[in-house]
Amino acid sequence: MCSANGISVLPGPKDFRPGQTIPVDAAVRILDVASRAFTHVVADIPHSWGEDELKQITEISTRILVVLTPEVPALWRTTRLLQVLETAGAAEKLQVILNRSQKSDGISEKEIEKVLKFPLNWKLPNNYSAAINAINSGRPLVEFNHSELASSYKEFASRLSGIPLPDKRRKIFGLFS
């Protein structure tokens, strides 16, 4: 387990083995332990899991975030995933996040919502260079970047966690009181 800035990460396997995924019962046990140790747990679920595996995970989840990019293939896959998750009884837990959003997207937000039959709960603006710099440096984007993307991540995390963002004005005026 790696830990920095109050965030702990349990990375995937060290060695790449094609076709190997963690068994769902092991994942459920890991998530159960993690939920007892941390206030918030985020899991990136393998796309190879079928309906039975997804159903087991959705049963223990309080919220399921489905992330897509504004492209036809992603829209097609996301539509199928949402159908499977609905069938698994998770419709009320679903939140759809649009990643890499920009004004010049070939597909509008209204079109995406119409195809998915789900509202978009959040949009993360496209800033590939900032995101890839954070990935390559191993540092959280919000730690060193003051872009619209970093702000959007902070606001989204605040909304998900229920932890309000500090009031910037209060800090500035606090200097004079």
Rounded CA separation 99/127 (Å): 10
Do both 70 and 48 map to the same domain? no
Do both 34 and 80 map to the same domain? no
Domain that holds residue 41: 21-60
- Residue 136 falls within a domain, yes or no? yes
- Residue 16 falls within a domain, yes or no? no
Do both 95 and 133 map to the same domain? no
- Residue 137 falls within a domain, yes or no? yes
Do both 69 and 99 map to the same domain? yes
Do both 174 and 150 map to the same domain? yes
- Residue 82 falls within a domain, yes or no? yes
Residue pair 118/94 in contact (Cβ under 8 Å)? The answer is yes
Do both 52 and 68 map to the same domain? no
Do both 72 and 114 map to the same domain? yes
Domain count along the chain = 3
Listed residues 60, 83, 114: the one ending a domain: 60
Beta bridge mates, 67: 97
Do both 67 and 119 map to the same domain? yes
pTM (2 decimals)? 0.82
SS3 40: coil
pLDDT tens digit at each of 177 positions of the chain: 666 567 788 887 788 788 777 888 998 999 999 999 988 898 888 777 888 888 888 888 999 999 999 999 999 999 999 999 998 889 999 999 999 998 888 899 999 999 999 999 999 999 999 999 988 988 888 887 788 999 999 999 999 888 898 886 655 555 554
Rounded CA separation 69/77 (Å): 11
Do both 51 and 81 map to the same domain? no
